[in-house]
Amino acid sequence: MPEKSIVSWNIMINSLALHGFGYKAIKLFREMETSGIQPDAITFTGLLSACGHCGLVDIGRYFFNKMSHVYRIHHDMEHYACMIDILGRGGCLEEALVLVGKMEMRPDIVIWGALLGACRIHKNVGYAKLVLKQILELEPYTGGLYVLMSNIFCEARQWDDTKKMWKLMKDYGVQKHEAVSSIEISGRVSEFMVDDKKHEASDLVYNVLNHLMDHIKSEQHEPRPPLFAHSW
């Protein structure tokens, strides 16, 4: 292109970020700065997204601060969401909560949802409970978040809290939407739902699943060899 506008640069930076090419997105941003083009809010959305996809916590902090301190661009909800996601995925949950407290606007369900997902990744039940309280004030009827929270309790073996979550869902009349899982093998995509018997390989799938469940139950009563030591 004879002349590259901010729109051209932003499209490329955001596209690279979307597909996981974080370092290439950052390199392109450096070229944009060198060319004399001033970045805007959309540019930094792409950069922060790139850092999030690639786990670049320190670089994410650098760009988040540079955005306001160097270019005087105001942080909006999307920038906060990206930064909190970066911190959460990186295990910096306390720092993420502090940043939420500094936001000029009220955090939305996307912010809290990202934090709750990070709590599950890092098995931090204490912070998860704090986040859940905020979520219930915003959207008490979102089934997916109840399920995520109950999964966090399950993984922490806090069975009483798990039962409380399902009771809350029942009390609020919250319905869990049927989820679809998909897997691609040799170029063919297969989809499965709970109790799905339509797939041609469903008998084999459930046989393996039942074998795994029997193994899990036996592990609760007596020591067994590692799961992958078995020959299926």
pLDDT for residue 2: 86
Domain boundary assignment for the chain:
6-179, 180-232
Quote the DSSP letter at residue 55: T
This prediction's pTM: 0.67
CB 199 within 8 A of CB 190: yes
pLDDT for residue 228: 38
| DSSP codes, the chain | --S--HHHHHHHHHHHHHTT-HHHHHHHHHHHHHHTPPP-HHHHHHHHHHHHHHT-HHHHHHHHHHHHHTS-PPP-HHHHHHHHHHHHHTT-HHHHHHHHHH-SS---HHHHHHHHHHHHHTT-HHHHHHHHHHHHHH-TT-HHHHHHHHHHHHHTT-HHHHHHHHHHHHHHTPPPPPP-EEEEETTEEEEE-TT---STTHHHHHHHHHHHHHHHHHHTTS----GGGS--
Q: What does the pLDDT profile of the chain (232 residues) look like in tens digits?
A: 888 899 999 999 999 998 889 999 999 999 999 999 999 999 999 999 999 988 899 999 999 999 999 999 999 999 999 999 999 999 999 999 999 999 989 988 888 888 888 888 888 888 888 888 887 777 765 666 777 777 787 877 778 877 877 777 777 666 665 667 777 778 788 777 766 677 777 788 888 888 888 888 777 555 544 433 433 3
CATH of domain 6-179: 1.25.40.10
